[in-house]
Each structure stands twice: as C-alpha cells, then as structure tokens.
C-alpha cells in the first residue's frame, strides 16, 4: 500500500515509479469497470448462431429480394438477442441498461447502424444487392469499433475484423457474399463472444 503523498526522503526516480504504478492501476481499474456491463459475450454467441442459420437459409433464396428479406429478419432477430443479452447482463450486475458503459455502447453503436439501414434501402432501390454484404460488414465493424472504444480491447479488435472482412468482400466475387456474412456475423460473433463471455463477466 503506497504512503499517502510524496515522501520527501524518496528520490524523484522512485516517486516516478510509484506514480507510474498508480497510473497503471487507474487504467486497469477503468478498463475493467467500463467493460463490466457493456458488451454481452453470450449475446454475441447467440447472434452468431442465428446468423449462421440465416446464411444457411439464404443460400437457398430464389430471388435477391428474398435473400434480402431473410437477412433483414436476421438483423431484427440479432438486435433482439443483443439487447436482451445486454439487459440480462446489466440486471445481473445491478445497473440500469441505459446508464454508464451500456448506454454509451448503445449510443455510439447506433449512428453507423442507421447509416447502414439508409444505404441498404438506397442500394435495394437501385438493385445493387451485391454490395450489401461488404456494406453491412464494414458499417457494423465501424459501429463496434466506435462503440467499443472504452470497452476491453477485444471488442474493437472484433470490430476491426468485421471491417477487414467487409473490405475484402467488396473486392471479391458477388457470389461469395453470403459466405462473407456467415464468416463475419456468424463466426466472428461466436468466436469473440466466447472470449468476452469468459473474460468479461458473461
């Protein structure tokens, strides 16, 4: 336990070490505190499982609009799973959902997702369905990176994974779109969800 206040008998080097120790302690505590309620790991696993199911079903879609309909249903389902998992996690920790880290995460998540919804409608009208997988992955990744700025590092890293997949999807053949969605919304969610659940309280 450090003494309160600088001891005049201690050389500046030792004081600097103690101060650096305290700064490290503060950073660690803030990191753990902000990660405590925000991101639901098991929710991510659930969202990933539903995305894999959606990918399997959408692979048999007969028309592009049917394919889009399946993924829109999946989007609503994933949001429902995510919000439910967050509220359960927040309730278990004894904090309201719309306060602190959980509130910040939801608020910073929303603008890129709104942009994604508007662009989806615009691309659907012009019939550019092949651009949708890359767009969704890129914007969802952006949302996770910004939303997870104060969360443990694993969250923004997951967001970067989505962004990279989105960028690659734009440069790949359109027929690979569903596979990219399965890899991102399915595999990435499940993999990172397990890590978050195990290391950051559920």
Partner 1 sequence: MTVSNARSRVPKSQEPPRPDRRKAPTAIPELDRVIHERVRLAIVSALAANEVLSFHELKQLLATTDGNLSVHARKLEEAGYIALRKGFAGRVPRTEYRLTPEGRKAFQRYLDHLEALVRASGRAVRVR
Report, in this order, helix, strand and coil percent for the chain, each rounded to 5.
Answer: 80, 0, 20
Least distance to partner 1, CB of residue 155, Å: 14
Separation CA 2–CA 11 (nearest Å): 15
Please check whether residue 179 is in contact with residue 144, taking contact to mean a CB–CB distance below 8 angstroms.
no
Reported as half-sphere exposure (CB side, CA atoms, 13 A), residue 28 has a value of 6
Single residue of 56, 79, 80, 93 touching partner 1 by CB under 8 A: 93
Applying CB under 8 A, among 51, 63, 91, 146 the residue interacting with partner 1 is 91
| Closest to partner 1 by CB, 77 or 157 | 157
Q: Does 13 bind partner 1 (CB under 8 A)?
A: yes
- Counting DSSP H helices and E strands in the chain, the numbers are 8, 0
**Of 80 and 93, which CB lies nearer to partner 1 in the complex structure?**
93
Please say which residue, 17 or 66, places its beta carbon nearer to partner 1.
Answer: 17
Question: What is the distance between the alpha carbons of residues 177 and 32, in angstroms, rounded to a whole number?
Answer: 37
Task: Catalog residues that contact partner 1 under the rule CB under 8 A.
Answer: 1-2, 4-6, 8-20, 22-27, 29-34, 36-37, 91, 93-96, 99-101, 103, 150
């Amino acid at each position: 336990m450090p003494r309160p206040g600088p001891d005049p008998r201690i050389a500046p080097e030792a004081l600097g070490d103690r101060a650096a120790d305290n700064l490290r302690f503060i950073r660690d505590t803030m990191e753990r505190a902000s990660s405590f309620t925000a991101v639901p790991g098991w929710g991510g696993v659930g969202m990933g499982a539903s995305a894999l199911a959606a990918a399997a079903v959408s692979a048999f879609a007969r028309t592009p609009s049917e394919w889009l309909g399946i993924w829109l249903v999946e989007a609503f389902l994933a949001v429902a799973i995510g919000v439910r998992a967050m509220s359960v996690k927040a309730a278990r920790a004894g904090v309201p959902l719309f306060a602190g880290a959980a509130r910040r995460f939801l608020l910073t998540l929303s603008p890129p997702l709104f942009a994604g919804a508007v662009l989806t409608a615009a691309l659907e009208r012009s019939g550019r369905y092949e651009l949708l997988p890359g767009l969704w992955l890129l914007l969802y990744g952006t949302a996770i990176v910004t939303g997870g700025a104060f969360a443990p590092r694993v969250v923004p890293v997951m967001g970067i994974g989505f962004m990279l997949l989105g960028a690659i999807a734009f440069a790949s053949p359109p027929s690979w779109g569903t596979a990219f969605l399965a890899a991102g919304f399915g595999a990435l969610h499940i993999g990172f969800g397990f890590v978050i659940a195990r290391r950051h309280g559920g």
